[in-house]
């Protein structure tokens, strides 16, 4: 299909999608990348865990206090 075959509305949607994708690429350097399986599993386990660390403890651990 050629761009010239698109209706005005279809072209607007296509253009909007392209612009959105380019903005994501520019603003989010990780856009389009996939998580490694081991990282995804650790992330899921962390989310399921009831254990939480306070923001203050995180700042201390990172030396931000």
pLDDT tens digit sequence for 13-53: 999 999 999 998 899 888 788 999 999 999 999 999 989 99
Residue 32 · residue 25 · CB < 8 Å = yes
Q: What is the pLDDT of residue 5?
A: 92
Structural domain boundaries enclosing 7:
3-61
- Examine the pLDDT at 11 and tell me if it is beyond 90: yes
Number of domains the chain is built from: 1
Report the C-alpha gap between 18 and 6 in whole angstroms. Answer: 15
Q: What is the pLDDT of residue 31?
A: 79
Which tokens hold the place of 14?
Answer: 């296509």
């Amino acid at each position: 299909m050629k761009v010239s075959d698109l209706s005005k509305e279809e072209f607007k949607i296509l253009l909007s999608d392209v612009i959105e994708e380019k903005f994501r690429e520019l603003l989010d350097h990780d856009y389009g990348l996939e998580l490694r399986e081991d990282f995804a599993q650790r992330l899921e386990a962390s989310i399921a865990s009831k254990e939480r660390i306070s923001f203050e403890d995180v700042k201390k651990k990172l030396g931000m206090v």
